[in-house]
Amino acid sequence: MSQIGRPKVENPKNIRYSIRLDAQTEAKLKKYCEENGITKGEAIRKGIDLLLEGKK
């Protein structure tokens, strides 16, 4: 019997945040994502990692 649905992932992204951005920041985020072929969520996760690396 085959499994129906999407396969389970190792680290599910099931926590959601809602944030407000000004138009300039949204444009920067959108441009970055388009140039790097990533989603806004991935860009934000990378940004958080960079912030935390800077504290070391």
**Integer Cα distance of 53 and 48 in angstroms:** 9
pLDDT tier at 54, thresholds 50, 70, 90: confident
What pLDDT is recorded for position 4? 81
pLDDT at residue number 21: 97
Span 5-37, pLDDT tens digits: 777 888 888 899 999 999 999 999 999 999 999
Distances (CA, A) of 4 to 9, 11, 14, 16, 45: 15, 20, 20, 25, 30
- Assess whether pLDDT exceeds 90 at residue 38: yes
Identify how many contiguous H helices and E strands the chain contains and give both numbers: 2, 0
Q: In the prediction, which pLDDT does 16 show?
A: 92
Phi, psi (rounded to 5 degrees) for 43:
-65, -40
**Does pLDDT of 1 surpass 80?**
no
